[in-house]
Structure 1
């Protein structure tokens, strides 16, 4: 549909009329401008909010104030934009096919206006951007409001795109209402696009212009364009959804097992599926089934679930179009080949020394355990300090506590190290953990490959179970390819920030280990401080923090005052030694000043503006008294 839709003759005229009817305007064509979006009063209110001072009532609209609060919770940097970029955005999706012709048509009608028309996906990633104003386009490039970049609130703070996604409704943000200062010269209005069958928010239509050109018509235009896209989605989805519904009903009639019907836009399940799978299991199961359906053919997959069970999924596509598919998943629960009795709350098997019951951690432990039972050599990949070696040890001890276990760290690689690896492989049985193999140089990798080659393809059930650990996030060096080929599977160990709920279990366990059973417990207030931290250094960082606590207090109750200063900083990365010293000094000064930032700044010899900026940059959370 590349030609203008016959239903829309004059976009600007029809939208203006609709707006006048909605607002009660008595003069046709009149556009009511918004209050000055660059007002000094609003700018002062934003500054007060950013420095934790009281905001004057009535100055900031309630939706904006709520968005500012969310932005602070997300720890958005108001002074610097840090946006994720997706270099592989799909321009062949349900949304883009429905929206493309409409976006082109509307952009043509607005070509003479100083406004940019933007389409994003449900994560706020810009898919398309149209504008006839060169100056505005250049400015949007500078602030990365361009295809591939995400303008979700958690990255940018208050803005038309992210705030529409968070509020699931139209959002308009003008001038200093933006959380990030780099956006204060702009005005934007976004409207969410919902799938007409499932109601799922699929993306946002946004209009962005200079704040001096802003008016309330922007929201009406965005909402109307979003509505047209939804109508097109309804027309396109009918055939596929009917095919999926037909196959779902037949599958339910033919068997009594668990049946799921799923596509990008729709999910159905029968009563048996609800009985067998609680919500924590449904997520990973459906994610795996959705990916597997894209193969476009009937087949079977096995999925390890957070509950500790394994699911066997029989897949049958109902339709496939490019990289999208919908179909039926018939699921059985299996454990060691036997069908278990369904349980509404399945207990996760606890591995010794691998503490935690969060869904991601439990799923990881279950996957490692499954490879151990099959004696399949395995790579454990994760950030430093996530517990890769701990999981390998715990799996070994949980299954074969009396068997031999050896951990060899590649940091110590040398002639003797390689001889020890060869000896462990020849002796047979037990478990061998090769830690940090990504730190081997090319010569070391080749030497290790030569040692492993002899035992790579043996079917001897007594051969040792070999686990290699590598660090995630830096990319595997090219020379590791031959070595990693010796290990058929890789399991990712999640960072602590992705299962932070396990901090409440890790803290008492680690304290008991550090105090050797002494009576030391963590207060609820201190636990809340620990659980707010992002732990960029993962479990190892938590261990070191608690070691400092235990050095000061051996018995009693740990209070927030007993925690090291670094616990007050909610950072996204591990601080450099110099940054850690500075952060600790700021926290100590704030504690001495009872949270008074001005007094802390005076004590440290820095300006009030500087301490506010550093508090925000380090993510320091402190009570305030003035």
Structure 2
């Protein structure tokens, strides 16, 4: 913010120029602000740059003094700060919630959620759909490991939303081995299609490696590289299929129809 002279709400500050910048915690929450002032006759927009730099130095100090676990939580949480999906990121000591996720957070629910996540068997898949006690609320949880540090990303799903939540749908079984190797996960963007696809892969082919590619319009799809992975027995997850260019769509149709030499593909 840059305010000069008479732009101030308080007339007593009319002789000053002021610049202010927010100070954010490692989790992205505004925890304060820094402001600088100078006589209006020496006003200079560089005051804003200087104020921002002071704010960044304070934020750097906050990060340097934070627990490594808190920094890992903050990095995960920043992806969901503005998400419309109720989401929390948590470990045993810290819980970060976006605005929609706040309604699901309490002292008791945090304990129940943590104990449920710790008790779950994560050896077969890194993603799981669980029910939160007897509330009827379902959660889609993902386990994140960084060395010996573990935290979880949790999305909440109300019972009334379960029917509309994106759910994986397999194509009808046929004698064609190519089609039998294809899984299509439908749903609107941001509904967790990739998470659902990875969960299915973990349940059915946990011992098979998987590579992920984004194939939306404007990106060049590395079909040769994808073919090499499939030939080597590695599964492939294709994201943003609905946004792919016409040529790529035709190539994908050939794969699904079985006219491509690729043995299987997971869009």
| TM-score in terms of structure 1 length | 0.18
Give the greater-gyration-radius structure (CA): 1
Answer 1 or 2: which has greater helix percent: 1
- Tell me: higher relative CO, structure 1 or 2? Use CA pairs within 8 A at least 6 residues apart: 2
Answer 1 or 2: which has greater strand percent: 2
